[in-house]
Structure 1
Amino acid sequence: MARWQDRSEDELEESVTVLKGAGPRTAEQLHDMGIITIQDLIEHFPFRYEDHAIRPLKEVSHDEKVTVQGTVHSMPELRYFGKKKSRLTVRALVDGFLVQAIFFNQPYLKKQIQPGDHIIFSGKLDKNRMIMSGGTVKPRNIERDNELEPVYSVKGDIKVTMLRNLIEQAFNTFGERITEILPSQLLSAYKLTSRKEALYSLHFPHDIMAFKQAKRRMIYEELLLFQLKMQLFRKKEKEGEKGQKKQFVLAKVEDFIRALPFSLTNAQEKVLHDIYADLQANTRMNRLLQGDVGSGKTVVAAIALYVNALSGFQGALMVPTEILAEQHTESLRHLFKDTELSIAHLSGSSKVKERRETLKKLASGEVDVIIGTHALIQESVIFHNLGLVITDEQHRFGVEQRRILRKKGVNPDVLFMTATPIPRTLAITAFGDMDVSTIDQMPKGRKPVKTHWARHDMLPRVLDFIKKETGKGHQAYVICPLIEESEQLDVQNAIDVHAQLSTALPTVSVGLMHGRLSHDEKENVMLAYTKNEIQILVSTTVVEVGVNVPNATVMVIYDADRFGLSQLHQLRGRVGRGTEQAHCILLADPKTEVGKERMGIMTETNDGFELSQQDLELRGPGDFFGVKQSGLPQFKVADLVEDYRVLETARQDAVKLVNSKAFWESADYQPLREMLKKQGAFSQTKID
């Protein structure tokens, strides 16, 4: 398909040891920083820049780091402290004000600075006393260097000045070998500077404008390359792995939907049409279904499993916890009670005899749908003809776990589900190789949960409210961050809170749930809570997913400022599942502005997608999922939060390019194809 010639060797792949000053010891330390070749060195970008643009004093705030220009007013004064410490004071007229610039441990400057000299100097300005000081203070010639000073991350004995020198050498020696990889069409369309100029300006920006243009160019290039890899993988998936085309009678599916005790929302129906089209296609489905807590993803999954079974295939639903597996099994058995579908359950705690019987029926094809935990991916689990794999809360499973389950069948259709609303920025980055469907509409009649923020000293009022609600026959959750007391964190813990509430509310049954209980103990607690034998459930975050008690109307979260917005929203979603008004109370005394902002945001909106975007901005993409998301790339220049518009543009461009004839055949695209080939984009594999 592709038409290009391999170059014998990339001109920039020579070792850094060809540079003066990069001997064996230096080269070894550069290797530790990930710098092995000239290319690596040129692409080791600064992580921030010191702004040395001259500013008028009237625009400078107190204690701000700034660069100013002035005239030396009098002879500098030098004082020594101890053997090697010194302090040089230079008085200069700056914008009509007399400013004292203090230079520490640089006595040689006294001979270089004379009254009447015009100087430019930087530092932190005490505007009250008009004193400028700080470790970075230094005089500069009026014929000064660049306004922006790059700051690099270094290791070992490598100093920033040494690194800058090596980078400058690399550009002087190999700069002419830096080739353009973007086609002229894109360069012209977005008015992008050349690759060589952009790389140079990131290291040696002449001014702010040159830096901004360079950064804009490299952000687009980085995101375009990533999105092209995603789209190439997606194209390979669709062309290379033929799916199992499902044939079913739609009227029978519609009869099943009409028999449900509720009506589907427009959003659910739209998502189902996407899934029907995927199942009927020759290519394998690879779809992410995201929807807010309580939006009805489980019903959509059930209908997909029903369609799959009507087509003569088996379906598997893998979930992260045993509690959730049991709940889904119960829900699906209820939904399928008037059908001929055979539903089975498999988890780590399944009894030996029950497990053996389930595996036998699964292998013979007697089981149509199986629900389970990671127990589904064990070697002993053999399917007769697996046609659909659904993974719930998919980011809680490792890449390898999901892959093993897919391999249990012959190119089965795959549907990932998540109740963690993912900002579009992350969805098209971490899941850019998937089709994404969103249920953005809640079922009719559901009342939004009212959220309140309370300080810990308001606990007596909170307890009164819980007592009032339980008096009506309702139930409450009380969530704590830790199981036991920790010296490191001053947080309430489940065991202490359980004892406290049992004493404060003696007429109410208070249960305790945490991750250290055995499976049977957890099951017994949840069963008692489901039956309303327990009115208040004190728990750690194990109830974040997998608990559905419509009678629960109160959710109290201790030390709520220690949770991310998305996790708080997940916990809040455990209540408000019935017809009564539900309340979520955030107990917190946040000590940081971010903590206060989180509490404010939670009380203002119930929209999970809006919260997820706010969470992304507050916490950053690396922490969004609570654990490091496998497959989330580390970009050198781009920022997923700030550069989301560029990411959208890059994705649209990548889709057009991969499906165009010019991308595969035109000489204008050859450098781009070569770069992608070098980065492994045509190897027919994707690193999750």
Structure 2
Amino acid sequence: MRPSLLDPLFVPITSLAGVGPKIADLIAKVVPADLSDRPARAADLVFTLPNSVIDRRNRPGIALAPSGAIVTLDVTVDRHQPAPRGNKSVPYRVYAYDDTGEIALTFFHANASWLERALPVGEEVIVSGRMEWFNGRPSMVHPDHIARKSEAENLPLVEPVYPLTAGLSPKVLRRAVGQALERVPELPEWQDAELMRRQTFPAMRDALNRIHHPADPLDVSPDSAAWRRLAYDEFLAGQISLALVRATVRKLSGRPLTGDGKLIAALKNALPYELTRSQIEALAEIDADLQKPERMLRLLQGDVGSGKTVVALLSMARAVEAGGQAAMMAPTEILARQHFASIAPLAEKVGLRIAVLTGREKGRERADILASLADGEINIVVGTHALFQETVQFRDLALAVIDEQHRFGVHQRLAMTAKGDAPDMLVMTATPIPRTLVLTAFGDMDVSRLTEKPAGRQPIRTITLPFDRLDELVGRMRDAVAEGQKVYWICPLVEESEEVELMSAEERFSSLKPVFGDRIGLVHGRMKGAEKDEAMRAFKEGETRILIATTVIEVGVDVPDATIIVIEHAERFGLAQLHQLRGRVGRGSKASTCALLYKDPLGETAKRRLSVMRETEDGFRIAEEDLKLRGEGELLGTRQSGTPGFQVARIEAHADLLEIARDDARLLLNRDPDLKSERGQAVRTLLYLFGRDEAVRLLRAG
């Protein structure tokens, strides 16, 4: 049960004065919480932090106020000059003066009687707003604040500026945030006293008040003690939540998986190449995990082309040797079929029965596969998430391998394994994730990294070209195709849309068709499965030599003799995605090229991205750079996959706090696994506050 203490913060924002359904919809667009399955609450407003301030402590006097600056002026009202009757286009002006000069306060579509009350002639007033100078004359259009000198205490000297959306006025949002803030109760302290002293953290309510009512611009900086306190709260809630999920998953008793090693040896002999040093190390780590009675939860990180699939196959063979079955799950059907195509020949060579199961298998064929899984005839099954959702019954699932984890929600995935006979889990990702992000997304998961490319792989040369050299590029592609090379050509959109002037795949296909004739193919996400497969097959077998594609080919498509990839509007892609796409070439023994086509002028971030791509092929360095340029939500793909990003923490500013939060969470749960102590009870309040209810439910279930 949520502590009743928090009830005032869990009311919908429509219960706040001045917030009707229409305003609530606008506010929902700016709060940082994930509102996909609920309306916005008062607590979400409390964590909607300002991104800058208006500093009104600047009081230079009229004559010394620079144009464009926000200033506060102490003036005396001299005279009113209303707009001529019937002419709405002329503004209403109020002239006022101080010791240094005169200023016109300018109002469009003004309410004359309101202005006469607010600015009575002869009265001393304080006005605050942006200074403008026209032909040597100062003016202030629609001052932000007007107050009589006698009431000046009400004027905020440093005013927070919140993120806004069209139709939502700063005043309305500020008022709503203020009301939510008043509802924050006195909370029990869940932080360790020694840590609070070391980090100079204020109490939580003080931290919120400091940021929402800043006395200085520094108060709204992510580096301030107040903001760091809130970031740490959020990290701690996340780390405790992940640790509880993990403990629950671990509690479902694992079992040691050991075999006689014959299958593994046969598979290694069947491989057409030697394993790399890091593949051997990763396999040793996985083997050690599988032999323990606790369940394995391991993340296998490896750049595109580093040989994760082989590691997965050998791990699955270990589970089969131990008498169980293994399943491998991929995010898309294309990828599932491709994994199947690459591991089935090897598996069958050593007598393993392997099947593929996606939404496409129907009728009799599907029924046969399901029956063979249930009676244990099939050793390994490869498929999409359909494997875990439908009536799929395993006789004895011992190992689940999940590819491209960040496309599935983390909690859903861990919860999924909590259902059946808890299998060991190996999670693979080709998105190199910096250590800080591994912690935020996977908690304290064990990590194996594949750092080398398989022997014989050539480096990829990366070049950048502006669009005005497109004809030259097409000429080069024509020569390359004539020499028998294969080319991927990536476009950002499927079809033309008027809002976004990007070249669509279909349009690029039409423009290149006259040049390449029958040697050009097209594949995009809106095609039917069979059409996609046919386009991929024709390209793989060399019937087509140039494949126009959208980013459906980003993950896992394998055509070893493709040597060139052209990426249009490269400035529109994130670094991680550019790196993934580039990894589609350079998979064979021939030298490969990646051409990044961009449209001038480039912004600073885009320039940096393209230069990082030219400088390095190291996925981990690219991931670190991407984190600096984009922040954590984008990098984990959480914008699409529904895992929560952070509300107040900023990885790039607060990464140092993450390790501390992980250790703190670990220590706390070691001492007090059920969160029953005084601090444990306070931490339960923290979990509810940051929407980690599922963690509290696990405590009860456990």
Q: Same fold (TM over 0.5)?
A: yes
2:294 is the alignment partner of 1:283: yes
Query: How far off its partner does 1:187 sit?
Result: 1.4
Whether contact under 8 Å (2:570, 2:597) holds in the other structure is yes
2:535 is the alignment partner of 1:525: yes
- Output the CA distance in 1 between the equivalents of 2:381 and 2:453: 27
Out of 501, 509, 512, which is 1:501 matched to? 512
Q: Match for residue 322 of structure 1?
A: 333
Q: Match for residue 34 of structure 2?
A: none
Q: Match for residue 556 of structure 1?
A: 566
Distance of aligned partners of 1:526 and 1:82 in 2 relative to their CA distance in 1, 3 Å threshold: same
Q: Match for residue 66 of structure 1?
A: 70
Q: Match for residue 36 of structure 2?
A: none
SS at 1:336 equivalent: helix
Out of 13, 20, 32, which is 2:7 matched to? 13
Out of 471, 482, 488, which is 1:471 matched to? 482
Distance of aligned partners of 1:292 and 1:133 in 2 relative to their CA distance in 1, 3 Å threshold: farther
- Output the CA distance in 2 between the equivalents of 1:515 and 1:634: 26
Query: How far off its partner does 1:552 sit?
Result: 1.0
> What's the CA shift string for 1:633-673, capped at 9, x where partnerless?
25442223432332333223222322235995754555335
Out of 508, 530, 555, which is 1:545 matched to? 555
Q: Match for residue 52 of structure 1?
A: 55
Out of 61, 80, 83, which is 1:81 matched to? 83
Q: Match for residue 205 of structure 1?
A: 214
- Output the CA distance in 1 between the equivalents of 2:595 and 2:399: 40
- Output the CA distance in 2 between the equivalents of 1:260 and 1:357: 30
- Output the CA distance in 2 between the equivalents of 1:380 and 1:11: 43
Greater alpha carbon shift after TM alignment, 619-628 vs 479-488 = 619-628
Query: How far off its partner does 1:67 sit?
Result: 3.5
Q: Match for residue 140 of structure 2?
A: 133
Whether contact under 8 Å (1:66, 1:122) holds in the other structure is yes
Alignment of 1:228-627 (within 5 A): 228-238=240-250, 240-249=251-260, 253=264, 256-257=267-268, 260-350=271-361, 352-377=363-388, 379-397=390-408, 402=413, 406=417, 409-432=420-443, 434-505=445-516, 509-590=519-600, 593=603, 594-624=605-635
Name the amino acid aligned to 1:187: M
2:204 is the alignment partner of 1:195: yes
Alignment of 1:83-102 (within 5 A): 85-90=91-96, 100=103, 102=105
Distance of aligned partners of 1:503 and 1:91 in 2 relative to their CA distance in 1, 3 Å threshold: farther
Name the amino acid aligned to 2:470: L
Q: Match for residue 684 of structure 1?
A: 698
Distance of aligned partners of 1:165 and 1:101 in 2 relative to their CA distance in 1, 3 Å threshold: farther
Query: How far off its partner does 1:387 sit?
Result: 0.8
Distance of aligned partners of 1:682 and 1:488 in 2 relative to their CA distance in 1, 3 Å threshold: closer
- Output the CA distance in 2 between the equivalents of 1:626 and 1:15: 29
Please list every run of 5 or more consecutive structure 2 residues that lacks an aligned counterpart in the other structure. 32-38
Greater alpha carbon shift after TM alignment, 194-203 vs 552-561 = 194-203
Q: Match for residue 3 of structure 1?
A: none
Distance of aligned partners of 1:360 and 1:632 in 2 relative to their CA distance in 1, 3 Å threshold: closer
2:162 is the alignment partner of 1:148: no
Name the amino acid aligned to 1:348: G
Sequence identity of aligned pairs in percent? 35
Residue correspondences, number:
664
- Output the CA distance in 1 between the equivalents of 2:619 and 2:132: 44
SS at 2:402 equivalent: strand
Name the amino acid aligned to 1:271: A
Query: How far off its partner does 1:305 sit?
Result: 0.8
Whether contact under 8 Å (1:222, 1:638) holds in the other structure is yes
Whether contact under 8 Å (2:145, 2:155) holds in the other structure is no
Whether contact under 8 Å (2:249, 2:422) holds in the other structure is no
> What's the CA shift string for 1:168-193, capped at 9, x where partnerless?
8658xx6xx44433231221232212
Whether contact under 8 Å (1:268, 1:296) holds in the other structure is yes
Name the amino acid aligned to 2:70: V
- Output the CA distance in 2 between the equivalents of 1:654 and 1:287: 20
SS at 1:355 equivalent: helix
CA RMSD of aligned residues (A): 4.3
Greater alpha carbon shift after TM alignment, 317-326 vs 374-383 = 374-383
- Output the CA distance in 2 between the equivalents of 1:511 and 1:41: 48
Name the amino acid aligned to 1:320: P
- Output the CA distance in 2 between the equivalents of 1:111 and 1:392: 71
Distance of aligned partners of 1:516 and 1:31 in 2 relative to their CA distance in 1, 3 Å threshold: closer
SS at 2:522 equivalent: strand
Name the amino acid aligned to 2:575: L
SS at 1:87 equivalent: strand
Q: Match for residue 43 of structure 1?
A: 46
Distance of aligned partners of 1:259 and 1:180 in 2 relative to their CA distance in 1, 3 Å threshold: same
- Output the CA distance in 1 between the equivalents of 2:309 and 2:592: 22
Distance of aligned partners of 1:107 and 1:178 in 2 relative to their CA distance in 1, 3 Å threshold: farther
Whether contact under 8 Å (2:519, 2:543) holds in the other structure is yes
- Output the CA distance in 1 between the equivalents of 2:653 and 2:9: 34
Whether contact under 8 Å (2:410, 2:441) holds in the other structure is no
- Output the CA distance in 2 between the equivalents of 1:499 and 1:241: 56
Name the amino acid aligned to 1:80: P
Distance of aligned partners of 1:12 and 1:623 in 2 relative to their CA distance in 1, 3 Å threshold: closer
Distance of aligned partners of 1:244 and 1:398 in 2 relative to their CA distance in 1, 3 Å threshold: same
Distance of aligned partners of 1:61 and 1:466 in 2 relative to their CA distance in 1, 3 Å threshold: farther
Query: How far off its partner does 1:307 sit?
Result: 1.1
Greater alpha carbon shift after TM alignment, 188-197 vs 150-159 = 150-159
Greater alpha carbon shift after TM alignment, 44-53 vs 581-590 = 44-53
Q: Match for residue 232 of structure 2?
A: 220
- Output the CA distance in 1 between the equivalents of 2:700 and 2:496: 44
Q: Match for residue 123 of structure 1?
A: 130
- Output the CA distance in 1 between the equivalents of 2:266 and 2:173: 71
Query: How far off its partner does 1:220 sit?
Result: 1.6
Whether contact under 8 Å (2:331, 2:404) holds in the other structure is yes
Whether contact under 8 Å (2:65, 2:131) holds in the other structure is no
- Output the CA distance in 2 between the equivalents of 1:332 and 1:392: 14
Query: How far off its partner does 1:267 sit?
Result: 2.9
Whether contact under 8 Å (1:100, 1:131) holds in the other structure is yes
> What's the CA shift string for 1:331-358, capped at 9, x where partnerless?
2133335423222223333464543443
Name the amino acid aligned to 1:265: T
- Output the CA distance in 1 between the equivalents of 2:468 and 2:531: 33
Name the amino acid aligned to 1:576: G
Please list every run of 5 or more consecutive structure 1 residues that lacks an aligned counterpart in the other structure. 1-5
Distance of aligned partners of 1:623 and 1:674 in 2 relative to their CA distance in 1, 3 Å threshold: closer
TM-score by length of 2: 0.81
- Output the CA distance in 2 between the equivalents of 1:243 and 1:14: 43
Greater alpha carbon shift after TM alignment, 369-378 vs 276-285 = 369-378
TM-score by length of 1: 0.82
